Amino acid sequence: MNAPFPARPKKRLKIATATLGGCFGCHMSLLDMDERVLDLAKLADFDRSPLTDIKHCGACDIGLIEGAVCNAENVHVLREFRANCRTLVAVGACAINGGLPAQRNPLDLGDLVRKVYCDRVEETAQIPRDPELPLLLDKVYPIHEIVRIDYLIPGCPPSADALWKFLTDLIDGRTPRLDYAHFRFD
């Protein structure tokens, strides 16, 4: 009697991450999964992330993006990331609603920049005009105002447990669901 064919292995998913304007705390929560990061690496491959040092995202299944959209470079990175991610997940308060960076929104941008760069003791202080600096946007935007997102993980930052639960649900083909106990706003 012939042995049955082995079950066809599931395609390994590819995960990528990106950061816009924020504190990088959501990525720290990813690293706070500790040894579970190794377990996650058994379930999926990592593309662009702090774990791989890959700078540009190729096609991937799951994209995790943190931070708010504060400048022209953020818009470019976000649109490129969305184009390469089958599923895009907004991670953390900055990505979801602008978070702390959006606290500049009620202020006049010109006045704010002058105060930061010119209201100093030095009489020669001036606003930087280096073409390498990205152009600031009129206000800070949550990512859903620029591109379509598929899921969101709230928190500031979300806990490692929330990220683990969400990612393992998604990888296993389940609709991710987080209980209130997973939410954290430090």
Mean pLDDT confidence for 68-78: 96
- Tell me what pLDDT residue 186 has: 65
Residue 15 falls in which region: left (phi positive, over 0), alpha (psi -120 to 50) or beta: beta
User: pLDDT tens for residues 138-169?
Assistant: 999 999 999 999 999 999 999 999 999 999 99
d(CA 88, CA 66): 11
**Rounded to two decimals, what is the model's pTM?**
0.86
- Tell me what pLDDT residue 161 has: 94
Q: How many whole angstroms from its chain centre is CA 83?
A: 15
Mean pLDDT confidence for 45-67: 81
Q: What average pLDDT does the chain have?
A: 88
- By the 8 A CB rule, do 124 and 117 touch? no
Mean pLDDT confidence for 45-74: 84
User: Where residue 85 falls among pLDDT bands split at 50, 70, 90?
Assistant: very high
- By the 8 A CB rule, do 21 and 74 touch? yes
Candidates 17, 8, 1; CA nearest to 81 is 17
d(CA 28, CA 138): 29
| Domains located in the chain, CATH noted | 13-101+137-177 (3.40.50.700)
Letter for the amino acid at 18?
A: A
- By the 8 A CB rule, do 146 and 79 touch? yes
Q: Is 41 helix (H, G, I), strand (E, B) or coil?
A: helix
